[in-house]
Amino acid sequence: MNQLDALKQFTTVVADTGDFQQISRFQPQDATTNPSLILKAVQMPAYQQLLKDTLAQHTGASIDEVMDHLLVRFGCNILTIIPGRVSTEVDARLSFDTVATVSRAQRIIGMYQAQGVDKARVLIKIAATWEGIQAAEQLERQGIHTNLTLLFSFAQAVACGDAGVKLISPFVGRIYDWYKKSAGAQWDEAAHAGANDPGVQSVRRIYNHYKKHGIATEVMGASFRNVGQIIALSGCDLLTISPELLAQLQASEAPVQQALSAVQAGFMDLPALHLDQPTFRFAMNEDAMAGDKLAEGIRAFCADAQKLDALLHRA
């Protein structure tokens, strides 16, 4: 059995890509997209016609509306390949606007429903700012499920659990990147591999907390840099993985053992924790890594959204 098939025994495997032509060979349950992945995909020759068709069908619409139609078009194509859910992201430029995020999410869901897609097959991705988490709480009450992304801290995870969001995406690789860069020449790669990886440790802490306290929010590790990080989180609810790393898993027959267990978490002595807005913001302020990476991630997604805007203008 290859590692990918072995991993699927313990964890729901999700494809992290906008290039839906790559997905079928890995047979994932779900798929995730983001502005950067869609920008990358839409510039490929294989998707030029999809871009042209979307523009032709929505002549006269605002750029932000055309962008959402494009995202939904990719999502609909992905849903013809996978049995589960697709994650589609709200414009990152709305990350600090609860009202606008709710409105944009409702519009995206409406676009999916107009294409005959049940809203249960869509997760709306929202940056895990305080404002984004409040928007997700409102959407969940409306039956619109959410995926809180750019999640780097335990505080973000606790607030998401309190808000009853469907799923969170803690970013393993970007946490790893920050600690490695911070350590500089003192970084010991071998000593920080596998279960000792700071990104892996962050997800493990969140997973154990949720399972210990019966929090229904699903944990989906994301943003992986290597196969070792993925294997170290075997047993997590879901893992979203790039096609490149999925291919590496598929090509290897190295053993895979379950690393996380809800049963084991239930026996752990972990205190309950709840955060209001002041304590959330203070916790984020105290966590330099989380503050840095959240701001950096929003800036990067905003930059790619602007590039996508420009591409739509030119096309």
First to last CA, the chain: 46
Element (H, E) at 311: helix 288-314
Q: How far is residue 169's CA from residue 239's CA, in Å, rounded to a whole number? A: 9
Structure tokens at 239: 């893992």
- For the annotated catalytic residues, the residue numbers are 125
> Chain-centre distance of CA 290, in angstroms?
16
| Distance from the Cα of residue 254 to its chain's centroid | 27
CB atoms within 10 A of CB 299: 11
Alpha helices in 172-287 (DSSP H): 172-183, 198-212, 227-231, 243-251, 262-266, 277-286
Q: How far is CA 101 from CA 90, 92, 162, 198, in A?
A: 7, 9, 19, 31
